[in-house]
Structure 1
Amino acid sequence: MNRKLILCLVLTLLCVKALKAQTRLKDVLLSKYYRGSLASVFDSIAVDHNLKFSFDRERMRYSFAERYADMPLDVALKYICLEYGLKYYVGADNVIFVLDKKQKIDPITMASATQQIGEKATIAAVKHNYILTGRVIDASSGESLPYVSIGISGTKLGTATNADGYFTLNKVPSDTSTLAINYLGYNKTSVHLNPDLPKTGFIIELKPDNELEEVLVVADKEELMKVSEKVSMIKMSPQKLAMLPNVGEKDIMRSFQLMPGVSASNESSSGLYIRGGTPDQNLIVYDGFTVYQVDHLYGFYSAFNSNAIKDVQLFKGGFEPKYGGRLSSVTEITGKEGNSRGFNIGGDISLLSLNAYVESPLGDNVTLLLAARRSYKGPLYNKIFNKFNSSNSSTAQQRAPMGGGPGGRGNAFDNATTVSSYFYDFNGKFTYKPSKKDVLSLSIYNGTDNLDNSQESSAPSFGGGGGGRGFGFNVNDVTNYGNLGGSLRWARKWSERFFNTTVLGYSNYYSDRDRSNSNTITDEDGNSRDIKTGTLENNDLKDITFKSDFEYAWRKDNKLKFGAYGINYAIKYTYSQNDTSTVLDRHTSGNVAGIYIQDQQFLLGDKLSLEPGLRFSYFDQTSKTYTEPRLTINYKLNNKLMIKAATGKYYQFANRVLREDVLSGSRDFWILSDNNNVPVSSATHYILGASYETHQYIFSAEYYYKDLKGVTEYSLRFNPSRGGVSYEENFLNGIGYAQGIEFLLQKKIGHYNGWISYSIGEARNKIEAYSPNYYAASQDVRHELKIVNIYKLGRWNFSGDWVFATGRPYTAPQGGYEITLLDGTTQSFINIGAKNGSRLPDYHRLDLAINYELRGADSGTNIGSIGLSFFNVYNRKNVWYKEFQIADNQVVETNVNYLGLTPNLTLTLKLR
């Protein structure tokens, strides 16, 4: 009896201590935010408040976001346990035991402990059908994350963050709902709401999924690419580009070429040929300003440094009225702001270029990011440069007269070739956040290519005696092109429902090309005569843009977008032949101004989403207003099956016109429409598609049709009217259309993932000067099949892609002849066949890549990678284009091929 009494007294004392401990937890106020793993958070709380925690560290590696400041510890622990499926006890000795629901503590401790949160604990909702606003940021850098998908589990409700990471989520069923957060390159995250969390200014932190092995997560991770629920939209993760094979650089544009509807058979162009369109019909926006030159090194690499890019999304058609001025598609790129939580530096070195970046906070509200990249004369650069210039060099050598001593066949020329070639680009971004509602940023970009493959030859005087005739021969082959751009941007959150972004942007595209031959002939009397032949081209485009975009969630089931914009263009183009004849000299300027409005409505229990919109544009060169109606429809039949449709009218005022050149290869140049020789081009889109998505897979199919008007080319094959030279008549105008079907099967998650895409389509034009009937456009590719495979094994990543495409069309000469002019020179004349009446052989290649992730010795976090890739593994001789020369009145055809087997090695390092 005494023993039982003593035991009861002991248990009573223990319970009293436990109750005191419970009371103590209520008195502990978490006065600051904590982040990291749960284990590190518990350690920090214990130090800050002189507490003791007991837990299994291997089971407490969940990622913890800073959501519970200014909250009593017992309330915070309750929400933490409910969010992560845990339970906690307060022991008699003031130890706080935290366990998962499968764990148990020993009976003696259990007898003296008070359970605070058990297996069946729930939270009663306080608020229903309310509006939740907040912001999504990167957990490690503090950068805002744009266009993050946020849904409410168990419902069809959802939204996306804007370019600054802010979101407004309407009609949240209750303040105990669960949010599902998805963003490419980051861990999928579930956030369990509770009544004590803020309803406004709610911060959600996401961790990059390269930390997957360090942190246990609630759901699966996203990978490199995702097809959006929006019609014809694809998202790409810049952080994951190294997983794919590449020629020499992590390349956003090249990666998009592996997606359905984007042609992958143009190795010499990192621009996007989308659904039968051309690269100039793709609007590329970088931090609010337009980029006109998107490639380096003759088109083999894109001009965008992936280390400076935070987010990129591609609209292949049917895009909303916020965007305009292009016929085909929109690529929106958001640059990084810079790390706000610490200094970071990193970079890449490959067989092609050096790439470095630095980011750092400058005080509490300012961040800075600088990134630079420059090529160097490595084996890969030289291989590409020589491949592009081999035909030009051989042509120059054939044209250079050969001489020798009397009776000999030797070459007496002194040849000097000075090859000076490189590219570089620079990105800078300065971001200032004066308040929680304002973001000010200055973004700068400059990308330049300097390509010089000139040659100089000379021969000593020859003839009898000490005098004689001399000969000098110079081949100029100089190309300089690039893009300078920048933007000043102000984003403001006026209220929880009203956002505004205002941008002042500037862009300057420039291109100078000198392809001329200079001959200096000295006669026996010492008199010299210069003969210069060839072409000179100069193209310069300046674009000053002002735009202001507004977004207002005015009702729970409506979101209104509207804005205004103005663009000033100044474009000049000069094309000269033989140093004396100016073929074309145009200097034009003009202004475009307009407004747009779009409404998003949810009907039929949020199953049906309608987005009607209008865009009005006034162009002063034609004194006309152009109306562009747009409509997008999404209908969710169930949680897996969705039907999508879109239509819209689109106008383009600055066009890149193709200049046809059968022998030397066609080129293009930017020019402003004038509604006379160069009309305002237009397109009408019709899109219908469906997608079926499960936990691991997605299957989608889309049909598209584009009706084109104002298709313009420039050709010198037709003589201008007699009675005077008027090369303006060589602008040829017509119409066209493009249609096709795209299919995609993607495995989204897991150690093995990838996709298979197939596209069948056609792009056809009709320009009366070429043919009264429709003919294949130069970018017409009937069939394309792409297979992409990615496998992750620990710190190893293995990937491969195979691409097949039917041949592109080209115009072939049917015959030719040469005549000798009075001055002794020769001139070639050709008979041209049907416009694009021939086709190149089918294109296919296999690429492979291996990447190994580097980890810090102490921290175990990702600090870089080593990558080895092989482009065109089986050395397929894919035809780039064909060259034609006239020899003995016969047309001689030569294939110029793309790159063969090309290996590349890349080392990537970063501080954090």
Structure 2
Amino acid sequence: MLLPKQFHFLFFTFFLVLNLFSQDKGKLMPFKKIIHDIEQQHQVTFNYTEDLITELQLYPPKKELSLDHKLQYLANKTNLSFENIGNQFINIYKKDTDAQTICGYVFSGIDKKPIENANIFLNNKTQFTTDSNGFFKFEKEDKNILLISHVGFITKRITVGKSDSKNCLQVFLDPEITELQEVKANAILASGISKSADGSFEIKPKKFGILPGLIEPDALQTMQQIPGVNSLDESVSSINVRGGTHDQNLFLWNGIRMFQTGHFFGLISVFNPNLAHTISIYKNGSPAFFGESVSSVVAISSTPETAEKNALSAGINMINADIYAKYNVSKKSYIEISARKSITDYVETPTYKEYFDKIFQNTTITDFAKNQNIDYQSDRKFSFYDATLKYAQQIGLKDQLVLDLITIKDNLEVFQSATIYGMNKSENNVLRQQNYGGNLLWKRNWNRFNTTKINVYNSSYELLANQITTNANQIVIQENTVNNNGINLENNHSITDKLSFNNGYQFNEIGITNLEQVSNPDFYRKIKDVLRTHAFIVEGKYNDTLSRIYFRTGARINYIEKFKKYILEPRIQFSYGINKSLNLEVLGELKSQNSQQIIDLQKDYFGIEKRRWIISNNSTIPIQRSKQISLNLFYKKNDWLLDIENFYKKVNGITTSSQGFQNQLEFVRTTGNYEVWGTEMLIQKKMNQFLTWLSYTYNHNSYHFSDYEYPRFPNNFQLMHTVSWAGIYEKNNFKIALGTKWSSGRPKTSPDLSQIDLSDPVLVYNKPNNTNLHIFSQVNISSTYKWETANGIQYKLGISILNILNRKNEIGEYYRVSTLSNSIEEVETFSLQRTPNVSFRVSL
């Protein structure tokens, strides 16, 4: 017997079911009108073919019923099935044919909205598209393979099984997030050089054309063609960017900081020109992930942007020979090697002779020769090499490992002897300079929006000089070593196709040792300093190519353990395209630097590579800090290009010993700053295969040493006016470039002859940098020709001549008291004389 509660429950259920499957007492209505009313009431969309509902009529369900109950009612009253997809889309199909057809919807993976006109390829032979609701339908076959694609989305491949015919498929396409390529003005100065939206110059050595005096894409020689970048002594080891010293530039090779940048003591870059894939140069507004520099950043990457085929090449010129090879070990891994070695061990070419005379003028080595004029003999050996190794391994679809190794070495041995009055005097000099580096990078693409990079690196540098003097029975040893290691963590987040966000952490440890040891009399001094820093980085970027707006801002917070000091370094890059031809750019940055190069004595390390690295102590050797802002207008139309940039830069915390003084400040130790402002202009015109450009730089650069009797005077690296011109012709495989460079002379300090007793001379100077050297002027030419044989072997021949007119340009001048004549002696240093070079290269 039923209990009262059970009876009430069954009674309620019975009437609920009756109510559910009952219909309005109104008139019969067209089926199409019924589902239209349901669409309006429940905000859904029905998908069907007209033949399914033609002439179909029935009583409408009650309005107060839920959507599912209405669909159940309609299914019971018709021979139709109703599939409800997310209370948004309802597919209608016949019950007796549902197993013979397959239907589906295509949605966006981000906002779940339907994708209209998505292309669907069935078994690679039948193509159809989705409707406005993302709906598609096709007849089922034995084997169904679908390729679904749409512009802006990643193509998806799916295999349809038997069970998929019972319900409509739901396909979600992931958006194809690709960072929009920054708008670049192609062929600035030469093919392969461009300017990016963030204000940096980008060099692609493998696409490099030609520049006057260059037959190979030497990174550090090439960057000297950029307005605002100079080298007062023609050395790639003394590059001055907007008045800064060379050590104030940050040089990175695959994430490794390089402390040695030149072979042959600065006349050749240590970076193999046949290896690098991308070189980025920032004069201002560098990204927040770059620290430890108060001047420019030069970032060299030898990792290709896209997969490359196997390659092998070898070349030789009048200084060195090199080889390059890339081998794909598998589809997911490759190895790349390069090696370069001087040929000066075996032959002295005219190029080598000019280089040697330029480097060793006015050093202790040549001083020995000048002071000995009886039975003088000299034996010299000079050599250098560099080698790199890269191994890259793709792990699965998301991970990549890259290992980079580099080794660089220069070695000089000079033995000199002379017999004077029956006594033998000799010196044996050895100078070695080397840099080793390694970097291990792990990169993971978590998804299309998030990427993480972690790299661990080490860089070791050594400068060693040994001098043995036989007659004085004296040995002098000088050594400067640097050990730099650290770890970088960088996360990249693509929020939209226009907006991205980056954050990261960097740890850096640098240890520097300076050793001096002398015998007879005995002297020994060894100083070692270590500094550890932590940096936290945040950075955001907005890049809209349609509105022509590029904006990147970020900051790094440096924490120096030893000094318990925080330093904030904000950065900004803003670019706005006023129209398609005219672009406005604003760059700004605050940066700091904890290490620098100084000169204790001009004769250290034989006066050749006399600079040594040291670490700031936050007192007598302050942390260098810079601030810089620049405003740029860039115009490009009808193959005309005009680039005008005004800038202001100030660097605090410099020391007199880091500036290379050879006047009354050579032995003064004080700190101060330099302030530089100026204008850089470039005008360029391209006419078919001919490209010509003219650049001008105005640079006003002055020191401020408040504790010195002359607190303000011109900077040692000031070139008030610099003008460069080049004409370049490229047709097919033939290239030729002619150019000239003119600059006002660098500052120098003259002696005050009115206060010098010539009978017992002691140097007395005028105000520092009170006058200038003579004007510098040089004309250079270069040409290359490339041809290929029927079997695919490529040959390239290059010829260049530096200083065609053989002009004797003075690049340095100082004064000293001669011990031989007891008089004041003017010592001059000159640039390279006419210097030819020839190169030949074979590529497979």
Q: TM-score range by the shorter chain?
A: 0.7 to 0.9
Given candidates 530, 533, 541, the residue that maps to 1:589 is 530
Please give the alpha-carbon distance, in whole angstroms, between the structure 2 residues aligned to 1:450 and 1:832. 37
Q: 1:133 to 1:781 in 2, by over 3 A?
A: farther
Q: 1:692 to 1:133 in 2, by over 3 A?
A: farther
Contact 1:874 1:901 in 2 (8 A): yes
Give the corresponding residue for 2:767.
834
Does residue 759 of structure 1 match 2:711? no
TM-score of the two chains, using structure 2 as the length reference: 0.73
Structure 2 counterpart of 1:690: 633
**C-alpha distance in 1, partners of 2:240/2:771?**
20
Provide the C-alpha distance between the structure 1 equivalents of 2:637 and 2:724, rounded to a whole number of angstroms: 22
Per the alignment, do residues 583 and 884 of structure 1 end up closer, same or farther by CA in structure 2, a change over 3 Å counting?
A: farther
Is 1:418 equivalent to 2:386 in the alignment? Answer: no
**1:577 Cα deviation from its structure 2 partner:** 7.1
CA distance in 1, matches of 2:328, 2:411: 34
Alpha-carbon distance in structure 1 between the residues aligned to 2:660 and 2:221: 34
Asked if residue 890 in structure 1 is aligned to residue 823 in structure 2, the reply is yes
TM-aligned CA deviation for residue 595 of structure 1: 0.7
Structure 2 unaligned spans of 5+: 1-119, 129-147, 157-174
5+ residue gaps in structure 1?
A: 1-67, 77-124, 135-165, 173-178, 186-219, 403-410, 463-469, 521-529, 719-726, 821-827
Q: What aligned pairs does 1:385-424 form with structure 2 within 5 A after superposition?
A: 385-392=356-363, 393-400=365-372, 411=374, 413=375, 415-424=376-385
Equivalent pair of 2:191/2:210 in contact (CA under 8 Å) = no
Quick one: distance in 1 between partners of 2:522 and 2:456?
Answer: 40
Does residue 224 (structure 1) correspond to residue 192 (structure 2)? The answer is yes
2:596 aligns with 655
Native 8 Å contact 2:185 2:195 kept in 1: no
Q: In the superposition, relative to structure 1, how do residues 717 and 567 fare at CA in structure 2: closer, same or farther (>3 Å)?
A: closer
Measured in 2, the distance between the counterparts of 1:834 and 1:373 equals 47
Matches within 5 A, 1:559-574: 559-574=500-515
User: How much does 1:813 deviate?
Assistant: 4.4
**1:457 and 1:605, CA in 2 relative to 1: closer, same or farther beyond 3 A?**
closer
1:260 positional shift = 1.1
1:746-767 CA distance string (max 9 Å, x none): 3468411243211101222122
Change in Cα spacing, 1:807 to 1:499, as seen in structure 2 (3 Å) is same
Question: Which residue in 1 is equivalent to 2:354?
Answer: 383
8 Å contact from structure 1 (residues 574, 582) kept in 2: no
Q: Does 1:880 find its partner at 2:811? A: yes
Counterpart in 1 of 2:838?
905
Shift in alpha-carbon separation, 1:248–1:451, aligned structure 2, 3 A: farther
Q: 1:613 and 1:742 mapped to 2: Cα distance?
A: 26
Is 1:638 aligned to 2:579, yes or no?
yes
Partner residue in 2 for 1:169? 178
Deviation at 1:603, TM superposition (A): 7.9
Contact 2:742 2:777 in 1 (8 A): yes
- Give the AA of the match of 1:168: I
334-343 or 418-427: which moved more?
A: 334-343
- SS of 1:267's equivalent? coil
| Letter in structure 2 aligned against 1:621 | K
The amino acid of 2:553's aligned partner reads: P
Shift of 1:877: 0.7
The match for 1:471 is 423
CA 760–416 in structure 1, closer or farther in 2 if over 3 Å, else same: same
Please report how far the alpha carbon of residue 609 of structure 1 lies from its aligned counterpart in structure 2 after TM superposition. 3.3
Contact 2:659–2:716 at 8 Å: present in 1 too?
no
- Measured against aligned partners, the alpha-carbon deviations of 1:731-788 in whole angstroms (never above 9, x if no partner) come to 4211121111111123468411243211101222122454442222221111111112
Q: 2:277 aligns to what SS in structure 1?
A: strand
Paired amino acid for 1:551 = N
**CA displacement at 1:552 relative to structure 2:** 0.5
The reply on whether 1:427 has 2:388 as its aligned counterpart is yes
Length, aligned pairs only: 674
Q: Which amino acid aligns with 1:682?
A: R
Partner residue of 1:777?
A: 715
The question of 1:290 aligning with 2:257 is answered: yes
**TM-aligned CA deviation for residue 713 of structure 1:** 2.7
1:702 paired to 2:645: yes
Decide which of 275, 278, 286 is 1:311's aligned counterpart. Answer: 278
Distance 1:183-1:869 versus aligned 2 partners, 3 A rule: same
1:606 shift after superposition: 3.6
Query: Do residues 733 (structure 1) and 671 (structure 2) align?
Result: yes
Aligned partners of 1:338 and 1:356: how far apart in 2? 22
Task: Give runs of aligned pairs for residues 367-382 of structure 1, distance below 5 A.
Answer: 367-377=334-344, 378-379=348-349, 380-382=351-353
Change in 2 beyond 3 A, CA 1:69/1:506 = farther
**Per-residue Cα deviation, 1:322-345 (whole angstroms, up to 9, x for no partner):** 111100111111114699665421
Deviation string, structure 1 residues 287-308 (Cα, Å, up to 9, x no partner): 1111111101121111100112
Contact 2:691/2:728, CA 8 A, preserved across alignment: yes
For each residue in 1:637-690, what CA deviation from the matched residue of structure 2 results, as whole angstroms up to 9, or x when unmatched? 122211111222111011122446499699422111110221111001111111
Q: In structure 1, how many angstroms separate the alpha carbons of the residues matched to 2:182 and 2:531?
A: 47
Q: What aligned pairs does 1:839-850 form with structure 2 within 5 A after superposition?
A: 839-850=772-783
The answer to whether the 8 A contact 1:295-1:301 is kept is: yes
CA contact (8 A) 1:737 1:764 kept: yes
Higher radius of gyration, 1 or 2: 2
| Structure 2 letter corresponding to 1:702 | E
Could you tell me how far apart the structure 1 residues matched to 2:311 and 2:811 are? Answer: 42
Following superposition, the deviation at residue 818 of structure 1 comes to 10
Partner of 1:647: helix, strand, or coil?
A: strand
Distance 1:167 1:385 in 2: 56
Counterpart of 1:471 in structure 2: which amino acid? Answer: M
Partner of 2:622: 679
Structure 1 equivalent of residue 18 of structure 2: none
Residue 866 of structure 1 is matched in structure 2 by: 797
Letter in 1 for 2:246: P
User: What is the one-letter code of the residue matched to 1:596?
Assistant: I
Equivalent in 469, 474, 489 of residue 518 of structure 1 = 469
- Following the alignment from structure 2 to structure 1, what is the Cα–Cα distance between the partners of residues 648 and 122? 57
Distance 1:701 1:418 in 2: 51
Q: SS of the counterpart of 2:198?
A: coil
What amino acid is the match of 1:805?
Answer: S
Distance 1:391 1:736, change over 3 A: closer
Question: 1:779-858 maps to which residues of 2 (within 5 A)?
Answer: 779-814=717-752, 830-858=763-791
CA distance in 2, matches of 1:69, 1:658: 71
Distance in 2, matches of 1:790 and 1:397, equals: 43
Q: 1:244 aligns with which of 192, 211, 222?
A: 211
Percentage identity across paired residues of the two chains: 20
Q: In 1, distance between residues paired with 2:670 and 2:469?
A: 32
Contact kept, 8 Å, 1:564 with 1:595, in 2: the verdict is yes
- Give distance in 2, aligned partners of 1:538 and 1:817: 39
Q: Distance in 2 between matches of 1:883 and 1:579?
A: 31
TM-score (norm 1): 0.68
CA distance in 2, matches of 1:605, 1:807: 46
Q: 1:544 to 1:244 in 2, by over 3 A?
A: same
Tell me: CA distance 1:264–1:334, structure 2 relative to 1, closer, same or farther (3 Å). same
Distance apart, 1:282 and its partner CA: 1.1
Shift of 1:868: 1.1
Distance in 1, matches of 2:511 and 2:272, equals: 27
- Aligned to 1:256, the other structure's residue is in SS state helix
2: CA distance, partners of 1:133 / 1:834: 72
CA 1:657–1:133: 2 relative to 1, 3 Å? farther
Residue identity matched to 2:615: L
In structure 2, C-alpha distance between the alignment counterparts of 1:226 and 1:622, rounded to whole Å: 41
SS of 1:899's partner is coil
Are the counterparts in 2 of residues 473 and 517 from structure 1 also a CA contact under 8 Å?
no
State the partner residue of 1:273: 240
2:296 paired residue number: 329
